[in-house]
Copies of this chain bind each other. A is one copy, B any other.
Amino acid sequence: MTSSAPLFSRIALIGFGLIGGSIARAARAQGLAAEIVTTARSEKTRARVMELGIVDRVLDTNAEAAKDADLVILCIPVGVCGDVAREIAPHLKRGAIVSDVGSVKGAVLRDMAAYLPDSVHFIPAHPVAGTEHSGPDSGFAELFINRWCILTPPDNADAAAVEKLAAFWRAIGANVEIMTADHHDLVLAVTSHLPHLIAYTIVGTADELEDVTRSEVLKFSAGGFRDFTRIAASDPTMWRDVFLTNKDAVLEMLGAFQEDLSKLTRAIRRGDGDVLFEHFTRTRAIRRGIVSIGQDAASADFGRPHASLTKKE
């Protein structure tokens, strides 16, 4: 950063989990705010954030945190965004940008817009980034680098405010895409919500078998199963809310998935190797596409570490 003024005088982060904590670390590293304040629902988290020393002030209530901020970002489960919007609405500064980071946009847009005054710019956002960890210690400044942040501004949004929020996300490493909330919810249903549902399902299935013990499932998980356990270890509250608020799109994608699974199940039952081979060849190309645009590690096994062989004496 040169000596020019930071993008915002005060950024308020409501919630300090993986995403809120990563935004705080990245915004501070890039000098994007004169002051960063935050709050969190639990006393324990607020105390921990104070200890971490990443933000300027930790406040006790959402209202205090939002007051006088020119950028307020809700970094909380989508199911409570409406309530928090109602709580902070009377305290928002005229001209402030109010945003969020929720994985569902239609419901958040509807729930929050009902309470926010016309004097602020409400621009929902979703950084498509994360890890399986949660809590105030889980964030890191590099989380958003080369990931996409989707903005879903309402039709009447102020173009300058949208661009300012986009500039903020770009400054912490993200690429920005703009689309409608409805289209976002359909796209994310397939690239995020359905994969999580399937992973949560299969991990549960493996844990409840009669003829295979949990110890066997764990020991032989390198056969493929372990790849599913990472996203099935994601925050339960966040994901409960995602499925409750993006129900229609998730059920639609589930329908498509079930049709395709039926096709492959039938091929297995009938011993139709050609159908299987053709399908498995096609899916290989998708991974090459993801790696080639830098959305996953090119090295084998996601770049998982491998120990060295020690010669046996």
Beyond A30-B309, A254-B261: 16 further Cβ-contacts under 8 Å?
A30-B311, A31-B311, A130-B223, A173-B309, A187-B217, A190-B217, A191-B212, A199-B224, A200-B283, A203-B287, A204-B260, A205-B253, A232-B283, A237-B277, A241-B273, A243-B268
Q: Are A288 and B233 in contact (CB under 8 A)?
A: yes
Q: Are B309 and A142 in contact (CB under 8 A)?
A: yes
Across the interface, which residues of B come within 8 angstroms of A297, CB to CB? 304-305
- Min distance, Cβ A311 to any Cβ of chain B, angstroms: 6
A227 vs B304: C-alpha distance in the bound complex, in angstroms? Answer: 13
- Min distance, Cβ A27 to any Cβ of chain B, angstroms: 10
A236 vs B166: C-alpha distance in the bound complex, in angstroms? Answer: 42
Residue of A216, A229, A284 most packed against chain B (CB within 10 A): A229
Query: Which of A's residues lie within 8 Å of B, judged by CB?
Result: 1-2, 26, 29-31, 103, 128-133, 138, 140-143, 145-148, 150, 171-173, 177, 183, 186-188, 190-209, 211-212, 214, 216-234, 236-237, 239-241, 243-244, 247, 250-251, 253-254, 256-257, 260-261, 264-265, 267-269, 271, 273, 276-277, 279-284, 286-290, 293, 295-297, 300-309, 311-313
Name the contact of A148 in the complex, choosing from B128, B219, B293, B296 (C-beta under 8 A). B219
Across the interface, which residues of B come within 8 angstroms of A191, CB to CB? 206, 212, 216-217, 220-221, 223-225
A311 vs B226: C-alpha distance in the bound complex, in angstroms? Answer: 36
Name the contact of A265 in the complex, choosing from B190, B227, B254, B287 (C-beta under 8 A). B254
Name the contact of A290 in the complex, choosing from B142, B192, B197, B221 (C-beta under 8 A). B221
Across the interface, which residues of B come within 8 angstroms of A143, CB to CB? 306
A254 vs B171: C-alpha distance in the bound complex, in angstroms? Answer: 46
Across the interface, which residues of B come within 8 angstroms of A2, CB to CB? 313
- Min distance, Cβ A64 to any Cβ of chain B, angstroms: 29
Q: Are A229 and B296 in contact (CB under 8 A)?
A: yes
A254 vs B111: C-alpha distance in the bound complex, in angstroms? Answer: 39
Name the contact of A304 in the complex, choosing from B216, B251, B254, B303 (C-beta under 8 A). B303
A286 vs B290: C-alpha distance in the bound complex, in angstroms? Answer: 28
Q: Given A148-B220, A202-B198, A226–B296 Cβ distance below 8 Å?
A: yes
Across the interface, which residues of B come within 8 angstroms of A222, CB to CB? 128-130, 147-148, 295-296
Q: Given A220-B128, A240-B273, A287-B233, A145–B307 Cβ distance below 8 Å?
A: yes
